[in-house]
Chains A and B, each alone.
Chain A
Amino acid sequence: DAKTTQPNSMESNEEEPVHLPCNHSTISGTDYIHWYRQLPSQGPEYVIHGLTSNVNNRMASLAIAEDRKSSTLILHRATLRDAAVYYCILRVADRGSTLGRLYFGRGTQLTVWP
């Protein structure tokens, strides 16, 4: 599986933007970039995903580098409810034995201060 590298932890103040980086230098052309987050004592929650172009949804924005070797999840205004572990994941599309799986890694623990 193509792997991702994320900082162990980041901090932000409430109502400030947060940029969560992810490196995936071994990404291949058909790998989608997915972000999930996990709040304490809950299952992971889908945030956003993209392939090549930047993406926006109601939760966040995903900025993908032109060479696709890195991406950044952007929370435009952090709230206390955004405090969670954020996972950057490469999802293999239609390929062999890795079909369907998500490789989570350890993610980035985001702390939001009031």
Chain B
Amino acid sequence: DTGVSQDPRHKITKRGQNVTFRCDPISEHNRLYWYRQTLGQGPEFLTYFQNEAQLEKSRLLSDRFSAERPKGSFSTLEIQRTEQGDSAMYLCASSRNGRVGSYEQYFGPGTRLTVT
């Protein structure tokens, strides 16, 4: 257990439905990241928060995706009008503040989304 929790662990939804995932980072970590991982591939970066500010978004984050971190603590990732191509593992990670390259990221167990 890394101290990063994600909820739910599994989600099955029908195409067109909206889903929301939650991530609770390690409490003293200012930085929070979302990644997506499909079968056989490494995780792909989606977005990054420093406290409550969303500082970077990947091109993978289409208009149907939105992420928030309202009080600089937990974060939510919402996918609207889900498509079968959204089926993946969604991973959350957090890290301490400071020089970015020098600190490791701690990952949660992920939320596995299946869109039928």
* CB-contact partner of B41 in A30, A91, A100, A106, under 8 A: A106
Within 46-95 of B, Cβ neighbours of A (below 8 Å) are at: 48, 50, 55-56, 58, 91, 93
**A94 within 8 Å of B (CB atoms):** yes
**B28 within 8 Å of A (CB atoms):** no
A-B contact pairs, 18 of them (CB 8 A): A43-B107, A44-B43, A44-B91, A44-B107, A46-B105, A46-B106, A93-B101, A94-B99, A97-B56, A99-B55, A99-B56, A100-B48, A100-B56, A101-B58, A102-B33, A102-B35, A102-B43, A106-B40
A residues within 8 A CB of B43?
A: 44, 102, 104
Interface residues of A (CB under 8 A from B): 30-32, 34, 42-46, 49, 51, 85, 87, 91-94, 97-107
Give the B interface residue count (CB, 8 A).
29
Interface of A: prevailing SS: loop
Could you list 10 further interchain pairs (A-B, Cβ under 8 angstroms) beyond the known A30-B101, A91-B100, A102-B43? A42-B110, A43-B4, A43-B91, A44-B105, A46-B104, A99-B55, A101-B33, A102-B93, A103-B45, A104-B42
A residues within 8 A CB of B41?
A: 106
Docked CA distance A70–B105 (Å): 22
* CB-contact partner of A42 in B55, B58, B109, under 8 A: B109
